Amino acid sequence: MITRRTLLGTAFAASAAGLYAPRLRASAPDTLRFASAAGGPRSADPAKTTQGSDNWAVIQMFEYLAQPPDGNFGVSPDDFTPGLATSWTTSDDAKTWVFTLRQGVQFHHGYGEMTSADVARSFVRARDISVGSANYTNIAEVIESGKYEVTIVLKNPDPMFLGSTVAARHVMVISKKAEEELGEGFATKPVGTGPYKLDRFDSERGTYLSRHEDYWGEPAIITNVECLYIADTTARTLALISGDVDMAEGVRQPGWVPQIQAQKPDLLFDMTVPGSFNTLFFNLAKDPLQNIQVRKAIMHGINKQEIVDALQPMSRMVYTLNPPNYPTGFDLEELPEDLRYEYDPDEAKRLLADAGFANGLTIPVNTSQREDYSTQHLIIQEQLRQIGVTIDLTIMDHSAYHATNRQNLNTLNINSSSLPPVPLYVFNDYAVSAANMKEDGSGGANYSHYGVLMPGVDDLVAEMLQTTTFDDYVAKGREVELQIQRDLPMGGLPTLSYLVVRNPRIDLGYEVQGGYAYWRFCKASIVG
């Protein structure tokens, strides 16, 4: 049995032992300080961020045309409210979308009023640069149909265009003039319309923001926001407990939450649900993973409930690629019995024997040292040992782990990512052949090479693209979900909430329920 005790690392134990943490200046009275688990910011351009931590500053400085609810994703088109667009219409075939823009919106740093030229540029560049998703390639044309009107024509219908594309980070509205003037420098001198503007970009310490006084909407309550970077878990934990930071990225590791609660009981925990998709990709280019009997055996050998129990209160069960509370996700009882892949070590051993591995097999696997990745791989390593599958596990730096995945060097790759409840978005990221990850590192996140090394779901996704109503879109998406479950190029592992620990002196102004692994601070206030 794998216990929390055997998996709990040194993160909090080290802090209890009094290890050194860099001393930070105490928070100014009107400053919110957030600490991410990364080494330093790389980019604040919303279309070009390469690490999740950078998005905390981006979401404060840039905005969408249509705004999802604070603290959650938009699940249906009705969930989105006006942002930089005051209204929008769509054609009956869901291929033409017309957005009426808000007038008088001012960019940061004196770059003037937002017009259709800025919006058009923001969408076109997301389509034209490689952003790792096929969603933007559905944009056929972006027309400046008036100074304050933009018409977007799609190649295929998309009744969930607001969620799949409009409320995605890559198309947040930038200043066209600033981008043209600054060129590559825009990444560290970004200009948006949001409630906070950039004051300083420090590539080692963080991103420093202040309230945008010419903001079109309700002004931010707190004057300054500092998005700091403290990669060391011990240092970040100590900074939070000492009050040097107000909020910090938590550690998704067994036992960490109760440990920190014991140290400082008044801390608050914000968690996204479902949080990160944790997807196990079978690399179909590697022997013997081409054999579906082996893939089925591995899935039957994984005790998902044990993973959920070890990673409480953050982890929740998943039975297919999408979680049960997403439009195309399935509960266990909804699935045919042969597609449930419930924990059954005897069935796993039988499948391995049928595949010619009665005496077991060894699979080399790389994983990241980051706690959420290494914990899951270590649990799975122990579980699969019980069915005769030896996982020869190499734990490496997080950046190196992703680099080996992009070089096609891994076998059982776990990918962790927060994805919206937009089925087409998920399939385009993970399952279609257009997202195939190539050995030169290009392509998307289809690490299985599904649809390339074996037949995939491209045709079904193409049919999904022709639906014009949300109900038909979801129905076709559930067909895609079931086909992936039959082919098993990848398998869903339990989701893991993104966790932020917050000092009670900060009131966010709303409850975090779901959404991406970053959220806005413009409604936050200091209450203590």
Rounded average pLDDT over 426-443: 87
Residue type, 159: P
What's the distance, CA 451 to chain centroid?
Answer: 23
**243 lies in some domain:** yes
Q: Looking at the 3D structure of the chain, how many domains does it have?
A: 3
Tell me the average pLDDT of the chain: 91
Same-domain pairing of 382 and 304: yes
* pLDDT at position 139: 93
* Last residue in a domain, options 121, 153, 188: 188
Question: Using 50, 70 and 90 to split pLDDT, how confident is the model at 23?
Answer: very low
Per the structure, the complete domain to which residue 453 belongs is given by 276-496
Residue 17 lies in a domain: no
Distance CA 175, CA 181 (A): 10
Looking at residue 194, its pLDDT comes to 98
What integer pLDDT is reported at residue 134 of this predicted model?
65
Residue 300 and residue 228 share a domain? no
What angle in degrees, to the nearest 10, is found between the helix axes of 470-487 and 458-465?
A: 180
Residue 28 pLDDT: 62
Residue 217: is its pLDDT beyond 90?
yes
Exposed/middle/buried for residue 319 (C-beta within 10 Å: 0-12, 13-18, 19+): buried
Using H for helix, E for strand and C for coil, what is the string for 467-478? CCCHHHHHHHHH
Same domain, 117 and 203: no
Are residues 483 and 502 both part of a single domain?
no
Q: What is the pLDDT of residues 372-387, one digit of tens each?
A: 899 999 999 999 999 9
| One domain, residues 381 and 398 | yes
Summarised one tens digit per residue, pLDDT across range 131-174 is 555 678 889 999 999 999 999 999 988 888 998 899 989 999 99
Q: Which of 200, 249, 257, 251 is CA-nearest to residue 229?
A: 249
What are residue 500's phi and psi, to 5 degrees? -125, 135
Does some domain include residue 2? no
Distance CA 203, CA 206 (A): 6
pLDDT over 60 at 130, yes or no: no
For residues 156 and 139, is the Cβ–Cβ distance under 8 A?
no
Query: Nearest-CA neighbor of 230 among 516, 29, 20?
Result: 20
Q: What is the CATH number of the domain that holds 110?
A: 3.90.76.10
Q: Is residue 21 part of a domain?
A: no
Structure pTM? 0.82
- What's 302's domain CATH number? 3.10.105.10
Statement: residue 6 has pLDDT above 50: no
Same domain, 241 and 314: no
Residues 502 and 460 in one domain: no
Q: What is the pLDDT of residue 61?
A: 99
Backbone angles phi, psi at 316, to 5 degrees: -140, 150
Identify which has the larger pLDDT, 134 or 514: 514
Q: Does residue 17 sit in helix, strand or coil?
A: coil
The answer on 246 and 358 residing in a single domain is: no
Same domain, 282 and 330: yes
Residue 388 in any domain: the answer is yes
* Distance from C-alpha of 379 to C-alpha of 418, rounded to nearest angstrom: 22
Q: How far is CA 14 from CA 229, 234, 368, 458, in A?
A: 19, 6, 20, 49
Rounded Cα distance, 199 and 186, in Å = 14
> How wide is the angle at C-alpha 62 spanned by C-alphas 35 and 272, nearest 5°?
50
